[in-house]
Structure 1
Amino acid sequence: MIKAIFIVGPTASGKTALSINIAKKFGGEIISADSMQLYRGIHIASAAPDAEEKCGIPHHLLEFLELDEEYSVADYVIKARRCITEINSRGKIPVIVGGTGLYISSLLDNTEFSEQKTDFLLREELEKRFDSIGGEKMLEELREFDPTSAARLHPNNRRRIIRAFEVYRISGKTITEQNELSHQNKGFIEPLVIGITYNDREKLYDRINRRVDIMLNNGLLEEARTTFADTNGKGAFQAIGHKELYGYFSGEKTLEEATELLKQQTRRYAKRQLTWFRRDDRINWLYADSCDDINENAFKLINEFLKEENR
Protein backbone atom coordinates (compact mmCIF):
# COMPACT_ATOMS: atom_id res chain seq x y z
CA MET A 1 0.00 0.00 0.00
CA ILE A 2 1.04 3.59 -0.64
CA LYS A 3 1.60 5.76 2.42
CA ALA A 4 -0.30 9.03 2.06
CA ILE A 5 -0.82 12.01 4.35
CA PHE A 6 -4.20 13.76 4.49
CA ILE A 7 -4.63 17.29 5.87
CA VAL A 8 -8.29 18.11 6.48
CA GLY A 9 -10.42 20.65 8.30
CA PRO A 10 -12.69 23.65 7.83
CA THR A 11 -12.01 26.57 5.52
CA ALA A 12 -9.52 29.19 6.78
CA SER A 13 -8.07 26.80 9.39
CA GLY A 14 -4.52 26.83 8.01
CA LYS A 15 -4.46 23.61 5.94
CA THR A 16 -2.52 25.09 3.02
CA ALA A 17 0.37 26.41 5.12
CA LEU A 18 0.67 23.16 7.08
CA SER A 19 0.55 20.99 3.96
CA ILE A 20 3.35 22.98 2.30
CA ASN A 21 5.52 22.76 5.43
CA ILE A 22 4.94 19.00 5.50
CA ALA A 23 5.72 18.58 1.81
CA LYS A 24 8.95 20.56 2.19
CA LYS A 25 10.13 18.59 5.22
CA PHE A 26 9.19 15.08 4.08
CA GLY A 27 9.58 15.30 0.31
CA GLY A 28 5.94 15.43 -0.69
CA GLU A 29 3.76 16.59 -3.55
CA ILE A 30 0.36 18.10 -2.86
CA ILE A 31 -3.01 16.99 -4.24
CA SER A 32 -5.92 19.38 -3.74
CA ALA A 33 -9.13 17.93 -2.29
CA ASP A 34 -11.12 21.13 -2.63
CA SER A 35 -14.02 20.99 -5.08
CA MET A 36 -13.75 24.69 -5.99
CA GLN A 37 -9.98 24.83 -6.40
CA LEU A 38 -10.41 22.55 -9.41
CA TYR A 39 -11.70 25.53 -11.43
CA ARG A 40 -9.91 28.27 -13.32
CA GLY A 41 -11.20 31.82 -12.95
CA ILE A 42 -12.10 31.76 -9.25
CA HIS A 43 -8.59 31.87 -7.83
CA ILE A 44 -9.45 34.42 -5.14
CA ALA A 45 -12.79 32.92 -4.07
CA SER A 46 -11.40 29.38 -3.85
CA ALA A 47 -8.29 30.53 -1.92
CA ALA A 48 -6.11 28.46 -4.24
CA PRO A 49 -2.42 28.90 -3.39
CA ASP A 50 -0.43 31.15 -5.70
CA ALA A 51 3.10 30.49 -6.98
CA GLU A 52 4.71 32.18 -3.97
CA GLU A 53 2.62 30.20 -1.48
CA LYS A 54 3.45 26.92 -3.23
CA CYS A 55 7.15 27.42 -2.43
CA GLY A 56 8.16 25.32 -5.42
CA ILE A 57 6.19 22.29 -4.22
CA PRO A 58 4.40 20.45 -7.08
CA HIS A 59 0.61 20.78 -6.78
CA HIS A 60 -1.97 18.62 -8.54
CA LEU A 61 -5.69 18.97 -9.36
CA LEU A 62 -5.62 22.74 -9.14
CA GLU A 63 -7.39 25.11 -11.55
CA PHE A 64 -7.73 22.80 -14.55
CA LEU A 65 -11.50 22.96 -15.22
CA GLU A 66 -13.58 25.58 -17.00
CA LEU A 67 -16.16 27.34 -14.84
CA ASP A 68 -19.17 25.62 -16.42
CA GLU A 69 -17.72 22.10 -16.33
CA GLU A 70 -19.40 19.64 -13.97
CA TYR A 71 -17.04 17.31 -12.14
CA SER A 72 -18.35 14.41 -10.08
CA VAL A 73 -16.87 12.77 -7.01
CA ALA A 74 -16.14 9.76 -9.22
CA ASP A 75 -14.20 11.96 -11.64
CA TYR A 76 -12.18 13.38 -8.77
CA VAL A 77 -11.38 10.07 -7.08
CA ILE A 78 -10.25 8.37 -10.29
CA LYS A 79 -7.91 11.27 -11.09
CA ALA A 80 -6.65 11.62 -7.50
CA ARG A 81 -5.79 7.91 -7.33
CA ARG A 82 -3.78 8.29 -10.52
CA CYS A 83 -1.91 11.25 -8.99
CA ILE A 84 -1.20 9.30 -5.79
CA THR A 85 0.26 6.40 -7.78
CA GLU A 86 2.41 8.70 -9.94
CA ILE A 87 3.73 10.67 -6.95
CA ASN A 88 4.64 7.44 -5.17
CA SER A 89 6.44 6.17 -8.30
CA ARG A 90 8.71 9.24 -8.10
CA GLY A 91 9.67 8.35 -4.54
CA LYS A 92 7.63 11.23 -3.11
CA ILE A 93 4.89 11.25 -0.48
CA PRO A 94 1.35 12.18 -1.58
CA VAL A 95 -0.07 14.94 0.64
CA ILE A 96 -3.81 15.31 0.07
CA VAL A 97 -5.17 18.58 1.44
CA GLY A 98 -8.67 20.02 1.43
CA GLY A 99 -12.02 20.48 3.04
CA THR A 100 -14.37 18.68 0.63
CA GLY A 101 -15.45 15.85 2.90
CA LEU A 102 -16.86 13.60 0.21
CA TYR A 103 -13.59 13.69 -1.74
CA ILE A 104 -11.61 12.82 1.37
CA SER A 105 -13.89 10.03 2.60
CA SER A 106 -14.16 8.48 -0.87
CA LEU A 107 -10.37 8.21 -1.06
CA LEU A 108 -10.02 6.95 2.51
CA ASP A 109 -12.85 4.42 2.14
CA ASN A 110 -11.65 3.18 -1.25
CA THR A 111 -15.09 3.88 -2.72
CA GLU A 112 -15.35 2.13 -6.09
CA PHE A 113 -16.43 4.43 -8.91
CA SER A 114 -14.89 2.87 -11.98
CA GLU A 115 -18.06 1.08 -13.10
CA GLN A 116 -20.47 3.92 -12.42
CA LYS A 117 -21.08 5.27 -15.91
CA THR A 118 -23.06 8.43 -16.51
CA ASP A 119 -26.28 8.07 -18.50
CA PHE A 120 -27.15 11.61 -19.53
CA LEU A 121 -30.67 10.73 -20.65
CA LEU A 122 -31.36 9.06 -17.32
CA ARG A 123 -29.91 12.03 -15.46
CA GLU A 124 -32.10 14.43 -17.41
CA GLU A 125 -35.14 12.28 -16.61
CA LEU A 126 -34.28 12.27 -12.89
CA GLU A 127 -33.60 16.01 -12.86
CA LYS A 128 -37.01 16.70 -14.38
CA ARG A 129 -38.66 14.40 -11.85
CA PHE A 130 -36.90 16.13 -8.94
CA ASP A 131 -37.99 19.54 -10.23
CA SER A 132 -41.54 18.24 -10.64
CA ILE A 133 -42.16 16.46 -7.32
CA GLY A 134 -39.48 17.99 -5.07
CA GLY A 135 -36.77 16.69 -2.77
CA GLU A 136 -39.03 15.45 0.02
CA LYS A 137 -40.94 13.15 -2.33
CA MET A 138 -37.75 11.94 -4.00
CA LEU A 139 -36.29 11.09 -0.59
CA GLU A 140 -39.42 9.07 0.23
CA GLU A 141 -38.87 7.04 -2.93
CA LEU A 142 -35.14 6.66 -2.21
CA ARG A 143 -35.98 5.40 1.28
CA GLU A 144 -37.74 2.40 -0.27
CA PHE A 145 -34.52 0.93 -1.70
CA ASP A 146 -31.69 2.80 0.09
CA PRO A 147 -32.87 3.98 3.53
CA THR A 148 -29.30 4.60 4.72
CA SER A 149 -28.56 7.14 1.99
CA ALA A 150 -32.02 8.69 2.39
CA ALA A 151 -31.37 9.26 6.10
CA ARG A 152 -28.12 11.10 5.35
CA LEU A 153 -29.37 13.38 2.60
CA HIS A 154 -31.13 16.73 2.92
CA PRO A 155 -34.19 17.27 0.68
CA ASN A 156 -32.45 20.26 -0.91
CA ASN A 157 -29.40 18.23 -1.92
CA ARG A 158 -30.60 17.81 -5.50
CA ARG A 159 -27.33 16.55 -6.94
CA ARG A 160 -26.74 13.76 -4.42
CA ILE A 161 -30.36 12.58 -4.40
CA ILE A 162 -30.33 12.32 -8.19
CA ARG A 163 -26.97 10.54 -8.06
CA ALA A 164 -28.34 7.95 -5.62
CA PHE A 165 -31.15 7.09 -8.04
CA GLU A 166 -28.77 7.15 -10.99
CA VAL A 167 -26.29 4.71 -9.44
CA TYR A 168 -29.05 2.28 -8.48
CA ARG A 169 -30.73 2.40 -11.90
CA ILE A 170 -27.44 1.85 -13.74
CA SER A 171 -25.66 -0.68 -11.50
CA GLY A 172 -28.49 -2.41 -9.66
CA LYS A 173 -26.67 -1.65 -6.40
CA THR A 174 -27.31 1.20 -4.00
CA ILE A 175 -24.57 3.65 -3.08
CA THR A 176 -24.67 2.16 0.43
CA GLU A 177 -24.05 -1.35 -0.95
CA GLN A 178 -21.20 -0.13 -3.13
CA ASN A 179 -19.58 1.62 -0.17
CA GLU A 180 -19.85 -1.55 1.93
CA LEU A 181 -18.14 -3.54 -0.83
CA SER A 182 -15.39 -0.94 -1.00
CA HIS A 183 -14.79 -1.18 2.74
CA GLN A 184 -14.34 -4.94 2.42
CA ASN A 185 -11.67 -4.50 -0.25
CA LYS A 186 -8.10 -3.80 0.70
CA GLY A 187 -7.38 -0.14 0.10
CA PHE A 188 -4.44 0.88 -2.02
CA ILE A 189 -3.35 3.61 0.39
CA GLU A 190 -2.25 3.55 4.01
CA PRO A 191 -3.32 6.96 5.32
CA LEU A 192 -2.33 9.25 8.12
CA VAL A 193 -5.13 11.79 8.55
CA ILE A 194 -4.39 15.06 10.33
CA GLY A 195 -7.18 17.53 11.05
CA ILE A 196 -6.84 21.20 11.94
CA THR A 197 -9.46 22.95 14.04
CA TYR A 198 -9.87 25.43 16.89
CA ASN A 199 -10.87 24.89 20.51
CA ASP A 200 -12.55 28.30 20.36
CA ARG A 201 -14.90 28.31 17.37
CA GLU A 202 -15.07 32.12 17.47
CA LYS A 203 -11.36 32.31 16.60
CA LEU A 204 -12.02 30.30 13.45
CA TYR A 205 -14.95 32.57 12.59
CA ASP A 206 -12.74 35.64 13.10
CA ARG A 207 -10.21 34.14 10.66
CA ILE A 208 -13.01 33.58 8.14
CA ASN A 209 -14.22 37.18 8.46
CA ARG A 210 -10.68 38.51 8.01
CA ARG A 211 -10.11 36.25 5.01
CA VAL A 212 -13.23 37.62 3.30
CA ASP A 213 -12.00 41.19 3.87
CA ILE A 214 -8.59 40.27 2.41
CA MET A 215 -10.24 38.61 -0.60
CA LEU A 216 -12.26 41.75 -1.29
CA ASN A 217 -9.12 43.87 -1.05
CA ASN A 218 -7.39 41.48 -3.46
CA GLY A 219 -10.03 41.83 -6.18
CA LEU A 220 -12.83 39.39 -5.33
CA LEU A 221 -15.51 41.80 -6.59
CA GLU A 222 -13.88 42.06 -10.00
CA GLU A 223 -13.41 38.28 -10.17
CA ALA A 224 -17.05 37.63 -9.25
CA ARG A 225 -18.29 40.20 -11.75
CA THR A 226 -16.75 38.17 -14.59
CA THR A 227 -18.92 35.16 -13.71
CA PHE A 228 -22.08 37.13 -12.90
CA ALA A 229 -23.26 37.58 -16.50
CA ASP A 230 -22.58 33.96 -17.42
CA THR A 231 -23.94 32.17 -14.36
CA ASN A 232 -25.89 29.02 -15.20
CA GLY A 233 -25.93 27.21 -11.86
CA LYS A 234 -23.46 24.54 -12.98
CA GLY A 235 -19.87 23.83 -12.11
CA ALA A 236 -18.11 26.60 -10.21
CA PHE A 237 -20.97 29.08 -10.56
CA GLN A 238 -22.30 27.69 -7.27
CA ALA A 239 -19.05 28.58 -5.45
CA ILE A 240 -19.22 30.34 -2.12
CA GLY A 241 -17.49 33.64 -2.71
CA HIS A 242 -19.18 34.63 -5.96
CA LYS A 243 -22.88 33.86 -5.70
CA GLU A 244 -23.25 35.90 -2.49
CA LEU A 245 -22.06 38.98 -4.38
CA TYR A 246 -24.48 38.63 -7.28
CA GLY A 247 -27.17 40.45 -5.28
CA TYR A 248 -24.88 43.48 -5.11
CA PHE A 249 -24.30 43.42 -8.87
CA SER A 250 -28.05 43.21 -9.54
CA GLY A 251 -28.79 46.09 -7.17
CA GLU A 252 -30.74 43.95 -4.69
CA LYS A 253 -28.15 44.34 -1.91
CA THR A 254 -25.66 46.93 -0.75
CA LEU A 255 -22.00 45.93 -0.76
CA GLU A 256 -22.08 45.82 3.03
CA GLU A 257 -25.07 43.43 2.98
CA ALA A 258 -23.47 41.20 0.33
CA THR A 259 -20.21 41.10 2.29
CA GLU A 260 -21.98 40.13 5.50
CA LEU A 261 -23.90 37.41 3.62
CA LEU A 262 -20.62 36.04 2.26
CA LYS A 263 -19.08 35.95 5.73
CA GLN A 264 -22.19 34.28 7.16
CA GLN A 265 -22.35 31.63 4.42
CA THR A 266 -18.64 30.87 4.78
CA ARG A 267 -19.00 30.44 8.55
CA ARG A 268 -21.93 28.09 7.98
CA TYR A 269 -19.89 26.13 5.45
CA ALA A 270 -17.06 25.77 7.99
CA LYS A 271 -19.55 24.47 10.55
CA ARG A 272 -20.82 21.85 8.06
CA GLN A 273 -17.25 20.81 7.30
CA LEU A 274 -16.52 20.31 11.00
CA THR A 275 -19.71 18.28 11.44
CA TRP A 276 -18.67 16.03 8.55
CA PHE A 277 -15.10 15.46 9.73
CA ARG A 278 -15.95 15.08 13.42
CA ARG A 279 -17.66 11.75 12.76
CA ASP A 280 -14.45 10.22 11.33
CA ASP A 281 -12.38 8.64 14.10
CA ARG A 282 -9.36 8.20 11.82
CA ILE A 283 -8.54 11.89 12.11
CA ASN A 284 -5.75 13.03 14.45
CA TRP A 285 -6.92 16.48 15.52
CA LEU A 286 -4.52 19.36 16.09
CA TYR A 287 -5.72 22.65 17.57
CA ALA A 288 -4.39 25.79 15.94
CA ASP A 289 -5.25 27.95 18.96
CA SER A 290 -3.44 25.79 21.52
CA CYS A 291 -0.05 26.64 23.01
CA ASP A 292 1.60 23.77 21.13
CA ASP A 293 3.31 24.27 17.78
CA ILE A 294 0.98 22.77 15.18
CA ASN A 295 3.81 22.07 12.72
CA GLU A 296 5.90 20.33 15.38
CA ASN A 297 2.97 18.13 16.44
CA ALA A 298 2.18 17.24 12.83
CA PHE A 299 5.83 16.36 12.17
CA LYS A 300 5.85 14.02 15.22
CA LEU A 301 2.78 12.18 13.92
CA ILE A 302 4.32 11.86 10.46
CA ASN A 303 7.70 10.65 11.75
CA GLU A 304 5.96 7.87 13.68
CA PHE A 305 3.81 7.03 10.67
CA LEU A 306 6.78 6.78 8.31
CA LYS A 307 8.85 4.77 10.81
CA GLU A 308 6.23 2.03 10.94
CA GLU A 309 7.22 0.57 7.57
CA ASN A 310 10.80 0.09 8.80
CA ARG A 311 9.86 -1.82 11.95
Structure 2
Amino acid sequence: MSARGPVVCVVGPTASGKSALADLVAERLGSSVVSVDAMQVYRGMDVGTAKTPPGERCVPLLMVDVADPLEDYSVRLFQREARACVDALLDEGRVPVLCGGTGLYLNAVIDEMEFPAGEKGCEARGRYERLAAERGADALHALLAERDPESAALIHPNNVRR
Protein backbone atom coordinates (compact mmCIF):
# COMPACT_ATOMS: atom_id res chain seq x y z
CA MET A 1 0.00 0.00 0.00
CA SER A 2 1.49 3.31 -0.97
CA ALA A 3 1.96 5.88 1.78
CA ARG A 4 -0.90 8.27 1.10
CA GLY A 5 -1.35 9.34 4.68
CA PRO A 6 -1.12 8.18 8.26
CA VAL A 7 -2.75 4.93 9.34
CA VAL A 8 -3.03 3.84 12.98
CA CYS A 9 -2.70 0.10 13.68
CA VAL A 10 -3.94 -1.43 16.93
CA VAL A 11 -2.69 -5.01 17.16
CA GLY A 12 -2.18 -7.56 19.88
CA PRO A 13 -3.22 -10.93 21.25
CA THR A 14 -6.76 -12.11 21.83
CA ALA A 15 -8.64 -10.38 24.66
CA SER A 16 -6.03 -7.63 25.08
CA GLY A 17 -8.47 -4.74 24.61
CA LYS A 18 -7.66 -3.95 20.98
CA SER A 19 -11.24 -3.26 19.92
CA ALA A 20 -11.98 -0.87 22.80
CA LEU A 21 -8.73 1.02 22.23
CA ALA A 22 -9.24 1.22 18.46
CA ASP A 23 -12.79 2.48 18.97
CA LEU A 24 -11.56 5.18 21.37
CA VAL A 25 -8.69 6.24 19.08
CA ALA A 26 -10.96 6.39 16.02
CA GLU A 27 -13.53 8.42 17.96
CA ARG A 28 -10.88 10.92 19.02
CA LEU A 29 -9.61 11.14 15.43
CA GLY A 30 -13.12 11.47 13.99
CA SER A 31 -12.58 8.37 11.88
CA SER A 32 -13.60 4.71 11.60
CA VAL A 33 -12.12 1.35 12.55
CA VAL A 34 -11.18 -1.08 9.78
CA SER A 35 -11.13 -4.60 11.21
CA VAL A 36 -8.23 -6.73 10.01
CA ASP A 37 -9.45 -9.84 11.81
CA ALA A 38 -9.57 -12.97 9.67
CA MET A 39 -12.74 -14.29 11.32
CA GLN A 40 -14.74 -11.11 11.95
CA VAL A 41 -15.28 -10.78 8.21
CA TYR A 42 -17.82 -13.62 8.46
CA ARG A 43 -21.46 -12.97 9.28
CA GLY A 44 -22.93 -14.86 12.21
CA MET A 45 -19.62 -15.52 13.96
CA ASP A 46 -20.15 -12.95 16.67
CA VAL A 47 -19.48 -14.78 19.93
CA GLY A 48 -16.41 -16.76 18.91
CA THR A 49 -14.76 -13.71 17.38
CA ALA A 50 -15.64 -11.22 20.15
CA LYS A 51 -17.12 -8.71 17.71
CA THR A 52 -18.06 -5.47 19.41
CA PRO A 53 -21.88 -5.31 19.31
CA PRO A 54 -23.18 -2.43 17.15
CA GLY A 55 -24.74 -0.68 20.16
CA GLU A 56 -21.39 -0.54 21.94
CA ARG A 57 -19.41 1.01 19.08
CA CYS A 58 -18.56 4.71 19.13
CA VAL A 59 -17.57 4.78 15.46
CA PRO A 60 -18.29 2.76 12.31
CA LEU A 61 -16.58 -0.65 12.20
CA LEU A 62 -15.67 -1.61 8.64
CA MET A 63 -14.79 -5.02 7.18
CA VAL A 64 -16.97 -6.92 9.66
CA ASP A 65 -19.78 -9.23 8.50
CA VAL A 66 -18.83 -8.83 4.83
CA ALA A 67 -18.80 -12.52 3.87
CA ASP A 68 -20.95 -15.58 4.41
CA PRO A 69 -19.12 -18.44 6.19
CA LEU A 70 -19.94 -20.75 3.26
CA GLU A 71 -18.61 -18.25 0.72
CA ASP A 72 -15.20 -18.71 -0.91
CA TYR A 73 -13.58 -15.65 0.67
CA SER A 74 -9.82 -15.16 0.63
CA VAL A 75 -7.16 -12.86 1.97
CA ARG A 76 -6.83 -11.58 -1.61
CA LEU A 77 -10.47 -10.41 -1.62
CA PHE A 78 -10.08 -9.04 1.89
CA GLN A 79 -7.01 -7.07 0.81
CA ARG A 80 -8.86 -5.40 -2.05
CA GLU A 81 -11.93 -4.53 0.04
CA ALA A 82 -10.03 -3.37 3.13
CA ARG A 83 -7.69 -1.21 1.06
CA ALA A 84 -10.75 0.38 -0.56
CA CYS A 85 -12.02 1.25 2.95
CA VAL A 86 -8.64 2.71 3.91
CA ASP A 87 -8.46 4.69 0.66
CA ALA A 88 -11.99 6.06 1.15
CA LEU A 89 -11.14 7.26 4.66
CA LEU A 90 -7.91 8.86 3.46
CA ASP A 91 -9.80 10.52 0.58
CA GLU A 92 -12.12 12.04 3.20
CA GLY A 93 -9.09 13.37 5.10
CA ARG A 94 -9.56 10.93 7.98
CA VAL A 95 -6.98 8.67 9.62
CA PRO A 96 -7.98 5.00 9.31
CA VAL A 97 -7.60 2.90 12.46
CA LEU A 98 -6.83 -0.74 11.64
CA CYS A 99 -7.54 -3.24 14.40
CA GLY A 100 -6.88 -6.95 14.71
CA GLY A 101 -4.65 -9.73 15.81
CA THR A 102 -4.28 -11.55 12.52
CA GLY A 103 -0.87 -10.58 11.16
CA LEU A 104 -1.55 -11.84 7.65
CA TYR A 105 -4.69 -9.74 7.20
CA LEU A 106 -3.04 -6.62 8.61
CA ASN A 107 0.04 -7.14 6.45
CA ALA A 108 -2.15 -7.73 3.41
CA VAL A 109 -3.55 -4.23 3.86
CA ILE A 110 -0.46 -2.24 4.79
CA ASP A 111 2.36 -4.10 3.04
CA GLU A 112 3.11 -4.66 -0.63
CA MET A 113 1.84 -8.25 -0.62
CA GLU A 114 0.54 -9.92 -3.75
CA PHE A 115 -1.74 -12.93 -3.75
CA PRO A 116 -2.24 -15.15 -6.79
CA ALA A 117 -5.57 -14.97 -8.57
CA GLY A 118 -7.75 -17.90 -9.47
CA GLU A 119 -6.83 -21.54 -9.35
CA LYS A 120 -3.05 -21.14 -9.47
CA GLY A 121 -2.90 -20.20 -5.80
CA CYS A 122 -5.17 -23.09 -4.85
CA GLU A 123 -3.13 -25.52 -6.92
CA ALA A 124 0.13 -24.39 -5.35
CA ARG A 125 -1.29 -24.59 -1.84
CA GLY A 126 -2.57 -28.10 -2.55
CA ARG A 127 0.82 -29.18 -3.86
CA TYR A 128 2.60 -27.94 -0.73
CA GLU A 129 -0.04 -29.41 1.59
CA ARG A 130 0.44 -32.79 -0.10
CA LEU A 131 4.21 -32.50 0.27
CA ALA A 132 3.83 -31.82 4.00
CA ALA A 133 1.39 -34.71 4.41
CA GLU A 134 3.61 -37.15 2.50
CA ARG A 135 7.09 -36.10 3.65
CA GLY A 136 6.45 -34.05 6.78
CA ALA A 137 6.71 -30.44 7.87
CA ASP A 138 10.52 -30.59 7.94
CA ALA A 139 10.68 -31.43 4.24
CA LEU A 140 8.39 -28.52 3.42
CA HIS A 141 10.46 -26.16 5.56
CA ALA A 142 13.68 -27.39 3.91
CA LEU A 143 12.20 -26.53 0.52
CA LEU A 144 11.26 -23.08 1.81
CA ALA A 145 14.78 -22.58 3.19
CA GLU A 146 16.21 -23.50 -0.20
CA ARG A 147 13.94 -21.11 -2.13
CA ASP A 148 13.53 -18.28 0.41
CA PRO A 149 16.02 -18.47 3.30
CA GLU A 150 14.90 -15.13 4.73
CA SER A 151 11.28 -16.29 5.12
CA ALA A 152 12.39 -19.69 6.39
CA ALA A 153 14.32 -17.99 9.18
CA LEU A 154 11.12 -16.25 10.30
CA ILE A 155 8.69 -19.18 9.99
CA HIS A 156 8.70 -22.06 12.48
CA PRO A 157 9.31 -25.43 10.76
CA ASN A 158 6.02 -26.81 12.15
CA ASN A 159 3.97 -23.92 10.72
CA VAL A 160 2.86 -25.71 7.57
CA ARG A 161 0.07 -23.21 6.87
CA ARG A 162 2.47 -20.30 6.33
TM-score normalised to the size of structure 2? 0.83
What is the CA RMSD across the aligned residues, in angstroms? 2.1
Question: What residue number does 2:43 align with?
Answer: 40
Helix, strand or coil at the partner of 2:22:
helix
| Paired residues, number | 157
Once residues 105 and 47 of structure 1 are traced to their aligned partners in structure 2, the CA distance between those partners, rounded to angstroms, is 21
Mapping of residues 11-22 of structure 1, within 5 Å: 11-22=14-25
Question: What residue number does 1:112 align with?
Answer: 113
Helix, strand or coil at the partner of 2:132:
helix
Greater Rg, structure 1 or structure 2? Answer: 1
What amino acid does structure 2 have at the position aligned with 1:21?
L
Q: Which structure dedicates a bigger proportion of its chain to helix?
A: 1
Once residues 65 and 38 of structure 2 are traced to their aligned partners in structure 1, the CA distance between those partners, rounded to angstroms, is 10
Q: CA deviation at 1:70?
A: 5.5
What amino acid does structure 2 have at the position aligned with 1:97?
C
Structure 2: where are the runs of 5+ without partners? none
Evaluate the alpha carbon distance shift between residue 51 and residue 34 of structure 1 in structure 2; reply closer, same or farther with a 3 A threshold. same
Helix, strand or coil at the partner of 1:159:
coil
Question: What residue number does 1:136 align with?
Answer: 138
Mapping of residues 1-311 of structure 1, within 5 Å: 1-55=4-58, 57-69=59-71, 71-108=73-110, 110-113=111-114, 116-118=116-118, 119=120, 120-160=122-162
Residues 140 and 160 in structure 2, CA contact (< 8 A), matched pair in contact too: no
Once residues 4 and 122 of structure 1 are traced to their aligned partners in structure 2, the CA distance between those partners, rounded to angstroms, is 33
TM-score normalised to the size of structure 1? 0.46
Evaluate the alpha carbon distance shift between residue 100 and residue 137 of structure 1 in structure 2; reply closer, same or farther with a 3 A threshold. same
What amino acid does structure 1 have at the position aligned with 2:5?
I
Give me the identity figure in percent.
35
Residues 38 and 65 in structure 1, CA contact (< 8 A), matched pair in contact too: yes
Once residues 153 and 79 of structure 2 are traced to their aligned partners in structure 1, the CA distance between those partners, rounded to angstroms, is 24
Q: CA deviation at 1:43?
A: 0.4
Once residues 98 and 146 of structure 1 are traced to their aligned partners in structure 2, the CA distance between those partners, rounded to angstroms, is 27
Evaluate the alpha carbon distance shift between residue 29 and residue 127 of structure 1 in structure 2; reply closer, same or farther with a 3 A threshold. same
